[in-house]
A and B are shown apart, each in its own frame.
Chain A
């Protein structure tokens, strides 16, 4: 019997009990769709995280004060010796000691309350920095200008705002050239940043940026030191070299008992760590989804066993007409594979449609390998779980099968 004949008989078998065939397919459909969607969610969250890290700049190394002995952040004990200062910035900008460093951007964090007219708002991030921040952090302005070198040298009272801050203070009005008060001091809005949206943890547009000099004068005070220094390497290949140079330059002045009092964060290594974490997460999701695929396969087997029992007499007739074992085996195996292929194709469709929607805040990103894998596993499941029922049908003795009522 040819493959085409086996296929024809299988189609007839599937169509002869449509509702049951449909429900059986549904098991495989759900399994395949679940694999596709969950892998897409895992991948989507990985993409979101790496986008977030890349948004910070991939050629970038961040230096923060504090070592293992000093705890984290501003809450820990810090002597003036461990503070990062503008002197460190100057040292890092030395092109002979640090040939791989493109730019060095000092940053101080502060907290302010901004007011404009009757509106009042506290941005979650307020920082003072230099013009190179725009390039290093990839935060271009949408309107107006970023902080300029002139602003730095004149200690200008200007500020660049993120979209969220603009909305809270100005609503729909144009903020450019307007004067707002930061902790009671007047600042002129010089620029508005291009919106970046949320990175999943915080709103990246909830930010206000002022010149470093002005911020140290009026908000944080000169003695508090820098919150971080952002170093941009000349290219992505030079990131590690830049990191080593920075470490070499800073270690003599910022270490006690041989332990460095600063931390260097490399975005690339951060990216690698997060992607490996996400990989585990994705595999876990896929494993859970694979279980539903397995359950779908058991559904196929169950229905095929029922079908074989129901059609015992038909099998007897076919054997009396000269069907060989292989003919019967082929017919029923094709039928179970057909069920799982149809279910699988529907599952792929459902998976692709389902991946269009945001799921728990993550925009799923469909991976082509997951589609192929889910479909292949779905079909393999149909084949595997079809073997036993088909073999049972093929092994029926014609005389007994014919007598079956």
Chain B
């Protein structure tokens, strides 16, 4: 690993990353030569039409898939060199996923869902419960802990999913169209939660195709045909998120 200080600050570094599916003439190149550095504390929105490669990029960053070419460093660890066992560890400790369709484990209570990553991290039962309860309270569903996913609204399910994503204190929270299945009120609430997480220092990368959702981020990247078409910074890395609600600003300021 490099010892240069600049790289140590970056949460993730993609260098010349490409991903193709299939081979030969029928090969589909989903990503072409992506170079991307995301610093700690940043809030990045990745935009693009369907087929632009944003989902592929998400899967690579989330260690669900490996790049065909190039290097991917997550907190200085070269993820492309890891085996299945180590990747599971990285997904467990370094990454928190928030999916468009919530992806809560069915027939399993909200609390138990949030406990799951801790179960796989071998956190003792008592401690695990406390952490999970704290996370649920933090996203505002502390009163729904013992409900099953089927008993929760979409917005509530997504909040539980966010609690599950942050309970392990990951290096990066990945949102895959986190508001895609939500009405505008719930969507706004979820984006406010993301903004507050960012204020608390959490690095966030989310993909979206909605411009108004992208406005919550500090940096907006457009993908076109598997390449970065534009990379626009809308707020400094260490500033507050641009659309953090006024009452939240006040609370953050006083806190």
Contacts and interface: CB of A to CB of B under 8 A. Distances in A.
A324 to B, nearest CB: 4
Given A313-B103, A398-B64, A399-B65, A322 B59 contact: no
A16 B92 contact: no
Contacts of A322: 88-89, 91-93, 117, 120-121, 168
7 contacts: A12-B107, A16-B107, A320-B62, A321-B91, A322-B120, A398-B91, A402-B99
A398 B62 CA distance: 11
B88 A399 contact: no
B81 interface: no
B84 interface: yes
Interface string B117-150: 1011110000000000000000000000000000
B85 A321 contact: no
Interface in B101-116: 103-108, 116
Contacts of A318: 105, 116, 120
A25 to B, nearest CB: 20
A399 B85 contact: no
A318 B122 CA distance: 14
B216 interface: no
A245 interface: no
Given A322-B89, A402-B103, A12 B108 contact: yes
Nearest to B115: A5
A321 B64 contact: no
Contacts of A254: none
A314 interface: yes
A315 to B, nearest CB: 10
B120 to A, nearest CB: 4
Contacts of A324: 84-85, 88-89, 120
Contact of A323 (B62, B97, B120): B120
Interface in A298-356: 313-314, 316-325, 327
Contacts of B91: 319-322, 398
B164 interface: yes
A318 B97 CA distance: 11
How big is the B interface, by class? 20 to 34
Contacts of B122: 1-2
How big is the A interface, by class? 20 to 34
Nearest to B90: A322
Contacts, number: 61
Given A321-B91, A325-B84, 11 more contacts: A12-B108, A317-B104, A320-B97, A320-B103, A321-B120, A322-B88, A322-B93, A322-B121, A322-B168, A324-B89, A327-B120
Contacts of A320: 62, 64, 91, 97, 103
Contact of B164 (A2, A5, A321): A321
B120 A1 contact: yes
B157 to A, nearest CB: 13
Nearest to A316: B103
Nearest to A314: B105
A322 B89 CA distance: 6
B118 to A, nearest CB: 9
B65 A321 contact: no
Contacts of B121: 322
Interface string B64-106: 1100000000000000000011001101110001010001111
Interface in A7-33: 12, 16
B28 to A, nearest CB: 15
A320 B176 CA distance: 13
Contacts of B97: 320-321
A5 B125 CA distance: 10
A108 B101 CA distance: 94
Contacts of A325: 84-85, 88
Nearest to B99: A402
Interface in A369-405: 398-399, 402
B64 A399 contact: yes
